[in-house]
Amino acid sequence: MSDVVMVLVQQVIVMGMLMVIGFIAYKAKLIDSTGVKQMSNIALYVATPGILINSFIAEYDAQKLVRAGWTFLLAFVTFLFGLILVKTVLRKLNNVGQFGVLFSNVGFLGIPLVQMVLGPGAVFYMAMVVAVMTLTTFTYGMYLISGDKSSMSLKKVMTNPPVISVIAGLLIYCFRIPVPATVARTCSMLANMSAPVSMIILGSYLAEADMKSVFGNKDTYLILLGRLVLVPLMVLVMLKMMPSSLDEIKAVVLIAASTPVATALGMFSQLYGGNYAYGAGVVSLSTILSLITMPLFLALL
């Protein structure tokens, strides 16, 4: 595990440098807010499906499916930990703050990070986390931001490209459907572009964020405490009680639990008339701090 921590430290440094590139590119007007939105669409709807499907193109292993089931369950328990936290210890947070604690950036940061640190095979397990996160984000998460129960949409969950990719990948894996070499190579190339594109986007978010309002809002510190410390700490305690034979999925679940505030906070805030600049600022600040907290929690595991 110490080797994994060292690799993680190296990768978060690389990711930090990519964020700086994104920040500079935005400030230098090489990209603007429209370009950032378009890049976000590419990362979420093109690169992420590619990396997910790529993780399922492997030799069938029944034990791996069992571990995937465990990962799905642990990811859901992680969400429940966050829900308990915002309803008790952090109950003073408004709905936007609760969203920030509950939903982590597994798509933009968690998936490429797991691929780089644990290898492409571990993305198979992270796909289960993505499924849970998408299910809860487009139901309870949308309700939190909009305040309208009618905004909760199972249709949006089932038509979400990452979820479609997980379902397609599981079908390919379980039924051993042969994948042409050209398709596999395309998915592999999309997987390789996921990390740099995602971090450049996050750097751009930082450049366009209203950091004055972020630092001036006391809720910011409660969101950061919950998202980066309390939730991963609760998950760490749970994982410590599990057998060492599950080390790989334990690392995946902890990395997912330690990732920063979901970029959806900014997007949903903009969609429902909220403060997008503040949301983007919280996402950016939590991303920077997570580059420190994630290696620490993995070292503790």
State how far the Cα of 130 lies from the Cα of 225, in Å rounded to an integer: 23
Dihedrals phi, psi of 119, to nearest 5 degrees: 100, 160
Sequence-distant (≥ 6) Cβ neighbours of residue 109 within 8 angstroms: 15, 198, 199, 202, 259, 260, 287, 290
Domain ranges, ordered by start, for the chain = 2-300
Residue 87, token pair as written in the block: 């309803």
- pLDDT values of the chain reduced to their tens digit, one per residue, 301 residues: 567 778 778 888 888 899 899 999 999 999 998 898 888 888 888 888 888 898 899 889 999 999 999 999 999 999 999 999 999 999 999 888 899 999 998 887 888 888 888 888 899 999 999 889 988 988 888 888 777 776 677 777 888 888 899 999 999 999 999 999 999 999 989 888 888 888 898 888 888 887 888 888 899 999 999 999 999 999 999 999 998 888 999 999 999 999 999 887 766 665 555 667 778 888 889 988 998 999 899 889 8
What DSSP string runs through 184-241? HHHHHHHHHHHHHHHHHHHHHHHHHS-HHHHHH-HHHHHHHHIIIIIHHHHHHHHHHT
Class of domain 2-300 (CATH, top level): mainly alpha
Q: What's the pLDDT score for residue 14?
A: 87
Q: Give burial (CB, 10 Å; 0-12/13-18/19+) of 2.
A: exposed
C-beta of residue 174 within 8 angstroms of C-beta of residue 57: no
The reported pTM is 0.87
